[in-house]
A and B are shown apart, each in its own frame.
Chain A
Amino acid sequence: MNLQPLFEPKTMAVVGVSFSNDRHPANIIYNKAHLRYPLKVFPVNPRGGSLLGERVFTDISEIAEEVDLAVIAVRADAVPDVLEECIRNGVGGATIISGGFAEVDRKDLQDRLVAIAREANFPFIGPNCLGIYVPSVVDTFFLPGERMVHPDPGNVALVSQSGGVLVDQMVKFAEQGIGLSLAVSIGNKALIREQSLLDYLVADPRTNVIAFYVEGFDKNEGRDFVLGASQCPKPVIVLKAGKTDAGSRAVSSHTASLAGDHEVFSAVLAQYGVVEASNELELVSFCESLSCYQKAIGGSVGIVTGSGGHGALSVDVCSDHGLSVPSLSKTVQMKIKEQLSSSIQTIAALGNPIDLTGSAVDDDFVRAARELAHLPEIDAIIVLLLPYLPGITSDLGARLSQVSRRESKPLVAYVPHVEKYRMLIEGFELNRIPVSSSIEGAVLMVEAIRRCQPC
Chain B
Amino acid sequence: MLNEEIKNILGHSQKHGWVLEPDAKRLLKLVGIKVPKFSWATTIDDALGFAHQNKYPVVAKVVSPEVIHKSDVAGVALGITDDGSLTETFERFSTINGFCGMLVEESLSGLELIVGAKVDFQFGPVVLLGIGGTGVEIYRDTVLRMAPLRPEDAASMIKGLKAHQLLEGYRGADPINLQRLSDLLITFSELVMQIEPCIESIDLNPVMCSADRCVVADARIMLNG
Jot down 23 A-B pairs with beta carbons below 8 A, ordered by A. Answer: A217-B123, A219-B121, A223-B122, A226-B146, A252-B18, A253-B116, A253-B201, A254-B137, A255-B114, A255-B117, A255-B118, A255-B201, A258-B116, A258-B130, A258-B137, A259-B120, A259-B128, A259-B142, A259-B144, A264-B126, A267-B145, A271-B156, A454-B152
Question: Inside 8 A of B144's CB, which chain A residues have their CB?
Answer: 259, 263-264, 267-268
Question: Inside 8 A of A255's CB, which chain B residues have their CB?
Answer: 114, 116-118, 128, 201-203
Residue with the highest number of chain B CB atoms closer than 10 Å, among A217, A222, A259: A259
Within 193-225 of B, Cβ neighbours of A (below 8 Å) are at 200-203, 205, 220, 222
- Contact between chains at A256 and B222 (CB < 8 Å): yes
B109 to chain A, nearest CB (A): 21
Q: Mark A227-260, 1 if CB is under 8 A from B, else 0.
A: 0000000000000000000000001111111110
Interface of A is mostly: helix
Q: A226-B146, A261-B120, A268-B145 are in contact. Are A256 and B201 (CB under 8 A)?
A: yes
B175 to chain A, nearest CB (A): 22
| Count of A interface residues, CB-CB < 8 Å | 28
| Count of B interface residues, CB-CB < 8 Å | 33
- Contact between chains at B123 and A222 (CB < 8 Å): yes
A285 to chain B, nearest CB (A): 24
B110 to chain A, nearest CB (A): 19
A265 interface residue (CB < 8 Å to B): yes
B190 interface residue (CB < 8 Å to A): no
Chain A: residues with CB nearer than 8 A to chain B? 216-223, 226, 251-259, 261, 263-265, 267-268, 271-272, 454-455
Residue with the highest number of chain B CB atoms closer than 10 Å, among A219, A223, A256, A454: A256
Seed contacts A255-B128, A259-B142; 19 additional CB < 8 Å A-B pairs: A220-B121, A223-B122, A252-B222, A253-B118, A254-B137, A254-B205, A255-B116, A255-B202, A255-B203, A256-B118, A256-B200, A259-B120, A259-B201, A264-B120, A264-B122, A268-B123, A268-B126, A268-B145, A455-B156
Q: A223-B123, A268-B145 are in contact. Are A258 and B153 (CB under 8 A)?
A: no
Q: A221-B122, A268-B123, A268-B126 are in contact. Are A257 and B137 (CB under 8 A)?
A: yes
Question: Inside 8 A of B146's CB, which chain A residues have their CB?
Answer: 223, 226, 267-268, 271-272
Complex CA–CA separation, A271 to B146 (angstroms): 8
A224 to chain B, nearest CB (A): 10
**Smallest CB gap from B143: residue in A:** A267
- Select B118's contact among A221, A259, A265, A454, beta carbons within 8 Å: A259
- Contact between chains at B116 and A254 (CB < 8 Å): yes
Question: Inside 8 A of B140's CB, which chain A residues have their CB?
Answer: 258
Question: Inside 8 A of B153's CB, which chain A residues have their CB?
Answer: 271
B11 interface residue (CB < 8 Å to A): no
B57 interface residue (CB < 8 Å to A): no
Chain B: residues with CB nearer than 8 A to chain A? 18, 68, 114, 116-118, 120-124, 126, 128, 130, 136-137, 140, 142-146, 152-153, 156, 160, 200-203, 205, 220, 222
A194 to chain B, nearest CB (A): 11
Question: Inside 8 A of B222's CB, which chain A residues have their CB?
Answer: 252-253, 256
Q: A253-B116, A267-B143, A267-B145 are in contact. Are A261 and B128 (CB under 8 A)?
A: no
**Smallest CB gap from B136: residue in A:** A254
**Smallest CB gap from B120: residue in A:** A264
A455 to chain B, nearest CB (A): 6
Question: Inside 8 A of B120's CB, which chain A residues have their CB?
Answer: 222, 259, 261, 264
**Smallest CB gap from B17: residue in A:** A252
Residue with the highest number of chain B CB atoms closer than 10 Å, among A222, A255, A265, A272: A255
Question: Inside 8 A of A267's CB, which chain B residues have their CB?
Answer: 126, 143-146
**Smallest CB gap from A218: residue in B:** B122
**Smallest CB gap from A271: residue in B:** B145
**Smallest CB gap from A266: residue in B:** B144
Complex CA–CA separation, A217 to B122 (angstroms): 6
**Smallest CB gap from A227: residue in B:** B146
B72 to chain A, nearest CB (A): 12
A254 to chain B, nearest CB (A): 5
Complex CA–CA separation, A454 to B205 (angstroms): 28
Question: Inside 8 A of A219's CB, which chain B residues have their CB?
Answer: 121-122
A223 to chain B, nearest CB (A): 5
Complex CA–CA separation, A264 to B220 (angstroms): 20
- Select B136's contact among A223, A258, A265, beta carbons within 8 Å: A258
Complex CA–CA separation, A255 to B68 (angstroms): 14
Q: Lowest 7 CB-CB distances: which A-B pairs, in order?
A: A255-B116, A222-B122, A267-B144, A256-B201, A217-B122, A253-B201, A222-B123
Residue with the highest number of chain A CB atoms closer than 10 Å, among B116, B123, B136: B123
B159 to chain A, nearest CB (A): 9
B211 to chain A, nearest CB (A): 26
B51 to chain A, nearest CB (A): 30
B88 to chain A, nearest CB (A): 30
Question: Inside 8 A of A256's CB, which chain B residues have their CB?
Answer: 118, 200-201, 222
Question: Inside 8 A of B201's CB, which chain A residues have their CB?
Answer: 251-253, 255-256, 259
Question: Inside 8 A of B18's CB, which chain A residues have their CB?
Answer: 252
